[in-house]
Structure 1
Amino acid sequence: MLLFFLIPLLGLSQNQDRKYSGHQVSGDTVFVKTSDGDYRIVYYTPQIVETSFIPTGENFNKKSHAVVLSPAKVMQGIEEDDNTLKIDTEGIDISIIKKPFQVAYYYKDEMVISEKEGFLKGKEHQKLNFNLEDKEMLFGGGARALGMNRRGNRLELYNKAHYGYEDRAELLNYSLPIVISSEKYMLHFDNAPIGFLDLDSSKNNTLTYETISGRKTYQLIVGETWETMVGNYTLLTGRQPMPPRWALGNFSSRFGYHSQKEVLETIQKFKEENIPVDAVILDLFWFGKEMMGTMGNLEFERDSFPDPKKMISRLEDQGVKTILVTEPFILTTSNRWEDAVKKEVLATDKKGKPFTYDFYFGNTGLVDIFKPEARDWFWDIYKDLSEMGISGWWGDLGEPEVHPANLQHVTGSANEMHNIYGHSWAKMIYEGYEQDFPAQRPFILMRAGAAGSQRFGLIPWSGDVNRSWGGLQSQPEISLQMGLQGLAYMHSDLGGFAGDNLDDKLYARWLQYGVFQPLYRPHAQEAVPSEPVFREPQTKRLAKKAIELRYRLLPYNYNLAWENNQSGIPLMRPLFFEEPENGDLFEVTDTYLWGKDFLVSAVMADSLLEKQVYFPGKDNWFDFYSGKKYKGGTTQTITLKEDHIPTFVRGGAFIPMAKPVQTTRDYKGEVVEVHYHYDPEKKKSAGYLYHDDGTTPEAFEKGAYEKINFESAFNGNSLDLKIEKEKGSNVTNEVQLIELIIENLERPVNVVWVNTLRFTSKNFMHNGKLVIPIRFDNNITTVKLEF
């Protein structure tokens, strides 16, 4: 205990002016009184603690846009001596030195982080600062292209588009007040107004959060593993609902389709070429023939789209969903301007009149998404279009793209509300579906959001990336970083968005990478087609092969969606998840894990003929295409192939795959292939297949699911496999047949036992592989291979 109390005094900066004057406990909250304000400390779990500083003369604002978890009784006791106050728990402990004043946090008897001066008030910003260790790397701050280690940067917290960015972008559409350390802790500054995150830009081992106003509140989140830490954060701020299964398919999208005829003809091309497709996205021409002057109409332009209901129905009959772009800007030249003014749904000037201003698309007002009457007005538009058959929504320009500082929302100024505008917009749509379409999983694609937006089903993308190799190079980093920050569906416009660059090799490599990113959505400015059906034959062939693989992996990818829904673990995972003590992996982005069992290495340069790939050391890895084995813990030179990027499967993995389909509507799950990647060095392994109807919200919680669990055990002479079906109480859509396919067999199998029945391996050989049908006459099936 004495050592614990003394550690904070050793070499750390402290606040010399702040004086401790006492403490009190009220329920589960500890208040520490000081000479210039009060600390308010509350625990959510043993691994999540919240600290707020309330300066003298201010009242505590308990409203959080991010946190949904309720505090819990965690404290085991408070101990005090002449100069130290200690809060003791089974998780994070807090030591408060009285003179000179300092707050420090410990986990498992090791210091996690400590305040430096804590709260400071400057001329422009209020600040919270902390001490850093020399060796720490820092991640977070939202979506940016800076390299994984963002230490040394002062990051602006202001959601803003960056048109045509490439391999470096200091500020993008998602600027989150989150810092993640290589030492496995996270700080979330729970405050909406704009500001900065200074990640030791002065090189004096200082982390500083700066804001113009608002709460001086932060949550410290820890975990024994990276998975646990991210899970704790998403427990605090909410987990991503399961998307509709069709969202994991291929999208047809461009900027943009000008007519109903063009939409139908484009989808017909997909059908003629037998390229799978599940959705079509209509950009802004659905509500106006021209780019300028029509934003805010939010109704179909009938000259170009004469019968939208018929179009939507015809697409639906082909298994293709219709998604519409919407923006929160109501132009003064739009059909809805007068109604918006009359209903008082627009943000205002300081006199209460609609605030109007010019931006790229015309003279505009902005929907005040924070005003209940405005949300109702806006949602009614979505509701009417949804009843017409629209299946999903694209929220564009929601930073908002232009947001003058003098504009006023009902809840505060533009700068106070800017960073949670997209978040609140997604919340409106999500809650509208809960009320009016409770049997439907919403699809909400948003260009901007905030901490916790994942709980509204928000699917982010990385903005207007340049159509170039430099643009591609930044994409894995952005997705990996955002996955750590809870927004695990971050993805890119496949092929790149900005510019008229026609580069077939770039396009093919980007689409091959897209197989292993959360959403598969080629999208670009229309001068160069984004849809594979309009590319030259060789590029079309390569794109088709990538898209077909995406559909074959549908059951595996659906597993990843369910894992994220249940635990918060991202779909794309950095290599340091696999080897947390290997510091060399913290900055690797071109190679990553897709779920647990795929190792993927993106090809992000034109001239590459081969590349170096590191294989994480816990297991061996097998080339997904050739079956070649690579030893874990080694770096190998991989010769690149034109028709795929380097892709490897973990030894001992069970990989569920679908039969070929042209749309996810045709995937019912009655027959699923499960590929077991045999490795004699892997003595035991496990996997599963999660399955539901793909449409019911909270299907797992409602018992409308089944989960098939797989286990393997190898003893040198035989391989034992166990397949067990777990059914929810309300399951209606069941897997009927598993085709168990044994990959990578290195020696002949003499006997195959299925339950108590004995067969020779010849009974199951197909194209050189064992293919064993598993029918669920019983919930448990055992298979034994004798070598």
Structure 2
Amino acid sequence: MKRKFIAVVTLLLGYQISAQAQSFQKTSQGIRTVTQSMNVEVSFYSPNIVRVFKKPEGSQQKKESLAVIKRPEKLKFDIKNNGQTVTISSSVIAATVNLKTGKVSFDAQNGKKLFTEKDNSTRFTAINDAGNPTYAVKQAYLLDKEEIIYGLGQQQNGKLNQRGQKLLLKQENTKVAIPFFQSVKGYGVFWDNYSPTTFTDNAQETSFDSQVGNCADYYFMFGGGADGVVAQMRTLTGQSPMMPLWSFGFSQSRERYKTQFELVDVVKKYRALNIPLDGIVQDWQYWGKDDNWNAMSFDPTTFPKPQAMVDSVHQLNAHLFIVSWPGFAPKTPQYQEFKSKNMLLNFDTWPPGANTKPYDVYNPAARNIYWNYLSKGIFSLGIDAWWLDSTEPDHINVKEQDFDQPTYLGSYRSVENAFPLQHTGGVYDHQRAASSKKRVLLLTRSAFAGQQRYATNTWSGDVGSNWPTLQKQIPAALNFSLSGLPYWNGDIGGFFAGDFVKGGGAKNPDFQELYNRWMQFATFTPLMRSHGTDIPREIYQFGKKGEQAFDIQEKFINLRYRLLPYNYATAWSVTHHAGSFMRPLYSQFPNDPAGFENSSEYMFGRAFLVAPVTDKGMTSKEIYLPSGSKWFDFWTGEVVKGGQTIKRETPMEIVPLYVKAGSIVPWGPKVQYSTEKKWDDLEIRIYPGDNGDFVLYEDENDSYNYEKGAFSEIRFKWNDATKILTVEDRKGEFKGMLGQRKFNIVMVSRQNGTGIDNQKINKSFMYSGRKLSVKL
């Protein structure tokens, strides 16, 4: 941004410090004071969350956050004033304000130093933003020299630890900008600003420097560890609703299916091959030519009977995603209506040459109009999920004045990073208002803090089809998850696969190796979805049954479906307990520093350690198993002690996969789609060596009745010393719930069968919802 300085006014804390004691005012949530020509307010939102709000003295700024939805709680806190500083303490943390300089620091209740601003580090620089006198704003902090931090959304830098970085946090295809980080000291910091922001960490400071901001506004939260910090971030910005059960199966996509007949035929082929499938995705241009871009209607030549297409997909027991974009070509009625009401942003978005413009997602009236077209043209047909592409949005033919564009909330520059939050929020809120029978599921290419409350599953964008990119997806996904957003996925095989076309496309052995390794990784992500350009990715494109490329895909798609009860229970943990699917080793093993910067492995839920193969031709891989536990090789049943690095052979059909001792894993039936069979004859796998606990969650699979209490929980407890499994009383009920069922208990060992199937049942019993214990 070219800044037009209306005054060279930089407010730096520390100028002309008075020797006299400073005064402050107690508020209902903390304190406020005026120092160094600046208003400083520190407010406790909960015992764990503190807001720090600073603005130039005399400013009338009253900010309404787009990301934060929590309101301050009524709570008790202590205030101690020594004349130079004032300390506000809750039952969890203490915030200290230097009344002379305005510096704020945080300690734990045990006196441990957690986090501090840098002296003289809050800076407001007066600028002119599209004719509006305002500021560029910066806040700097001091971190411990060896402190490790995570987060910042999704960055494609291949790093798990985000120290030593200088990053422009600005929404882009493949990059998600979230000005949030969390530390191994157990705290997190959310910088609540929506303009492009430079994050810097070096030996001198750690800082957020935003192009536009009337105030310096951030939230400090203490969670004690990674999972706790994520829980606090969700408390602050919103909880994640349940995704439908079918979304945890397998979804097939392509750029693009050119007719409705081609799309339905793909589902038919999967059914004929007995390959499980739950989702099919219709990408762009179903509306016809680019001059009709995003018309939210079907071209009568290639999609002559869209209702028949939707009905056919449903009759085949599958579900349909439809793509929608935030931009419209001039020929569309949407463009014309938005233009007539001054609700278009006047810059070019995808596709090039079509003069497509995005609508003003910040305007609630514009979001209403967007949904009205989407509902009448597509949702009324009974489609199941949305693919909201280009949610950054794409910005082509960039001009400096594009960022001066007025939006409903100010210049585009001032709110740019919140575009995906506003856009997805509009679709989610409108669909929720229209129907509670079908859960919202939004596949989206970008995200911002708080977007988890809108049922979004963000994919990593149009990444390249190559091994270095596959490697980077693991830390990208983990940092995204550590930023508070639990649902992430990526195009299996990478999006741009043109380098492999000459060698035979899907029959190219090099692409087959990359694709199958990527699929193994995708099996252990919240959404398993095949997609890409250049090369069609349907399983039958790679060969036929009995051929390696086909058989490996079939194996891992089937594994995904056997994990459905485990994944659905993990989804409930996400919704009900602010949990996460993809977790770095640090999240579960905070006392084992050897795993803190491990960017090649992760926990999937609480039971599985996954170490994807991310190098071409790799026949073995070194794997670190965290200390404090024993580990079962999923494929062999071999038990390995933690706290060491081992070498695991990695033939093409194997991804290194370990299960933590003490895990209880429900194993679903072999199915062709998620609801084909009831879970009335369920295998329960126990991995001995430690005590275990697991809650099996069930509900109606695709409605919001769970919000009204229509769900059940069955808790399993394993006592490793006595070898007794206790199944507690079932809690809750819902329509269609199993009154009686059979549990088949498997005590996993090297001798007792291994892998996906071939497990030997140790004991079976009927369960009718009443507590019982079984000795094994």
> TM-score when scaled to structure 1?
0.89
User: Which residue pairs with 2:343 in the alignment?
Assistant: 345
User: Which residue pairs with 2:531 in the alignment?
Assistant: 523
Hey, what's the Cα distance between the residues in 2 that align with 1:622 and 1:357? 50
- Give the counterpart of 1:175 among 170, 174, 177: 177
User: Which residue pairs with 1:714 in the alignment?
Assistant: 720
Hey, what's the Cα distance between the residues in 2 that align with 1:18 and 1:394? 55
- Give the counterpart of 1:391 among 359, 384, 387: 384
Hey, what's the Cα distance between the residues in 1 that align with 2:751 and 2:276? 37
User: Which residue pairs with 2:416 in the alignment?
Assistant: 418
1:300-699 aligned at under 5 Å gives the runs: 300-334=298-332, 336-347=334-345, 360=352, 362-384=354-376, 385-402=378-395, 404-500=402-498, 501=500, 502=505, 503-525=511-533, 527-537=534-544, 538-679=548-689, 682=690, 684-697=691-704, 699=706
Q: Offset of 1:418 from its aligned partner? A: 1.3
Hey, what's the Cα distance between the residues in 2 that align with 1:602 and 1:45? 39
Q: Offset of 1:115 from its aligned partner? A: 1.4
- Give the counterpart of 1:705 among 708, 711, 718: 711
Hey, what's the Cα distance between the residues in 1 that align with 2:145 and 2:679? 52
2:293 partner SS: coil
From the superposition, tell whether residues 95 and 293 of structure 1 become closer, same or farther in structure 2 (CA, over 3 Å).
Answer: same
User: Are 2:164 and 1:152 aligned?
Assistant: yes
Q: Offset of 1:771 from its aligned partner? A: 4.0
Q: Offset of 1:730 from its aligned partner? A: 4.4
- Give the counterpart of 1:741 among 720, 742, 745: 745
From the superposition, tell whether residues 393 and 18 of structure 1 become closer, same or farther in structure 2 (CA, over 3 Å).
Answer: farther
Q: Offset of 1:696 from its aligned partner? A: 1.9
Q: Which deviates more, 727-736 or 659-668? A: 727-736
Task: Decide whether the 8 Å contact of 1:529 with 1:535 is kept in 2.
Answer: no
Q: Offset of 1:606 from its aligned partner? A: 1.0
Task: Decide whether the 8 Å contact of 2:282 with 2:322 is kept in 1.
Answer: yes
Q: Which deviates more, 650-659 or 724-733? A: 724-733
Task: Decide whether the 8 Å contact of 1:239 with 1:567 is kept in 2.
Answer: no
Hey, what's the Cα distance between the residues in 2 that align with 1:178 and 1:334? 38
One-letter code aligned to 2:720: F
Task: Decide whether the 8 Å contact of 1:654 with 1:687 is kept in 2.
Answer: yes
One-letter code aligned to 1:26: T
Q: Which deviates more, 205-214 or 360-369? A: 205-214
User: Which residue pairs with 2:765 in the alignment?
Assistant: 774
One-letter code aligned to 1:213: G
Hey, what's the Cα distance between the residues in 1 that align with 2:102 and 2:595? 37
1:212-291 aligned at under 5 Å gives the runs: 212-288=212-288, 290=289
Hey, what's the Cα distance between the residues in 1 that align with 2:567 and 2:654? 18
1:207 partner SS: strand
2:764 partner SS: strand
**Residue by residue, what CA displacement relative to the aligned partner does 1:337-394 show, whole Å, maximum 9, x if unpaired?**
333333543235xxxxxx6788525112221122232111111122222121111101
User: Are 2:192 and 1:190 aligned?
Assistant: yes
One-letter code aligned to 2:732: G
**Residue by residue, what CA displacement relative to the aligned partner does 1:48-69 show, whole Å, maximum 9, x if unpaired?**
1001002113123230111121
1:122 partner SS: strand
From the superposition, tell whether residues 462 and 722 of structure 1 become closer, same or farther in structure 2 (CA, over 3 Å).
Answer: same
User: Are 2:49 and 1:48 aligned?
Assistant: yes
2:362 partner SS: coil
Task: Decide whether the 8 Å contact of 1:281 with 1:323 is kept in 2.
Answer: yes
Q: Which deviates more, 417-426 or 527-536? A: 527-536
Task: Decide whether the 8 Å contact of 2:611 with 2:656 is kept in 1.
Answer: yes
One-letter code aligned to 1:305: F
Q: Offset of 1:673 from its aligned partner? A: 1.5
Hey, what's the Cα distance between the residues in 2 that align with 1:107 and 1:708? 37
From the superposition, tell whether residues 35 and 652 of structure 1 become closer, same or farther in structure 2 (CA, over 3 Å).
Answer: closer
Task: Decide whether the 8 Å contact of 1:495 with 1:506 is kept in 2.
Answer: yes
> TM-score when scaled to structure 2?
0.90
RMSD over aligned Cα, in angstroms?
A: 2.2
Q: Offset of 1:733 from its aligned partner? A: 2.0
1:38-117 aligned at under 5 Å gives the runs: 38-99=39-100, 101-108=102-109, 109-116=111-118, 117=120
Hey, what's the Cα distance between the residues in 1 that align with 2:216 and 2:751? 64
Q: How many equivalent residue pairs?
A: 729
Q: Offset of 1:544 from its aligned partner? A: 0.9
Task: Decide whether the 8 Å contact of 1:675 with 1:743 is kept in 2.
Answer: yes
Q: Offset of 1:738 from its aligned partner? A: 3.6
Q: Which deviates more, 332-341 or 415-424? A: 332-341
Task: Decide whether the 8 Å contact of 1:444 with 1:457 is kept in 2.
Answer: yes
Hey, what's the Cα distance between the residues in 1 that align with 2:349 and 2:489? 32
Identity %: 27
**Residue by residue, what CA displacement relative to the aligned partner does 1:691-746 show, whole Å, maximum 9, x if unpaired?**
111112251x422111111112233xx52111123231545423632433323358
Q: Offset of 1:397 from its aligned partner? A: 1.0
User: Which residue pairs with 2:153 in the alignment?
Assistant: 142
1:673 partner SS: strand
From the superposition, tell whether residues 735 and 398 of structure 1 become closer, same or farther in structure 2 (CA, over 3 Å).
Answer: farther
- Give the counterpart of 1:161 among 162, 173, 196: 173
**Residue by residue, what CA displacement relative to the aligned partner does 1:146-196 show, whole Å, maximum 9, x if unpaired?**
21122222211210125xxxxxxxxx1x10111222322111011222221
Hey, what's the Cα distance between the residues in 2 that align with 1:24 and 1:667? 63
Hey, what's the Cα distance between the residues in 1 that align with 2:218 and 2:597? 26
From the superposition, tell whether residues 245 and 215 of structure 1 become closer, same or farther in structure 2 (CA, over 3 Å).
Answer: farther
Task: Decide whether the 8 Å contact of 2:115 with 2:143 is kept in 1.
Answer: yes
Hey, what's the Cα distance between the residues in 2 that align with 1:332 and 1:189? 37
**Residue by residue, what CA displacement relative to the aligned partner does 1:517-536 show, whole Å, maximum 9, x if unpaired?**
110001000x3112222112
Task: Decide whether the 8 Å contact of 2:349 with 2:358 is kept in 1.
Answer: no
From the superposition, tell whether residues 238 and 101 of structure 1 become closer, same or farther in structure 2 (CA, over 3 Å).
Answer: closer
Task: Decide whether the 8 Å contact of 1:703 with 1:728 is kept in 2.
Answer: yes
From the superposition, tell whether residues 139 and 18 of structure 1 become closer, same or farther in structure 2 (CA, over 3 Å).
Answer: farther
Q: Offset of 1:414 from its aligned partner? A: 1.4
Task: Decide whether the 8 Å contact of 1:333 with 1:363 is kept in 2.
Answer: no
One-letter code aligned to 2:646: Q
**Residue by residue, what CA displacement relative to the aligned partner does 1:190-237 show, whole Å, maximum 9, x if unpaired?**
12222211122xx21443443322431100011222211211111111
From the superposition, tell whether residues 778 and 276 of structure 1 become closer, same or farther in structure 2 (CA, over 3 Å).
Answer: closer
Q: Offset of 1:271 from its aligned partner? A: 1.2
Task: Decide whether the 8 Å contact of 1:258 with 1:286 is kept in 2.
Answer: yes
2:67 partner SS: coil
Q: Which deviates more, 473-482 or 705-714? A: 705-714
Task: Decide whether the 8 Å contact of 1:158 with 1:419 is kept in 2.
Answer: yes
Q: Offset of 1:17 from its aligned partner? A: 4.2
Hey, what's the Cα distance between the residues in 1 that align with 2:210 and 2:14? 17
One-letter code aligned to 1:705: F
User: Are 2:173 and 1:128 aligned?
Assistant: no
Task: Decide whether the 8 Å contact of 2:258 with 2:286 is kept in 1.
Answer: yes
One-letter code aligned to 1:94: A
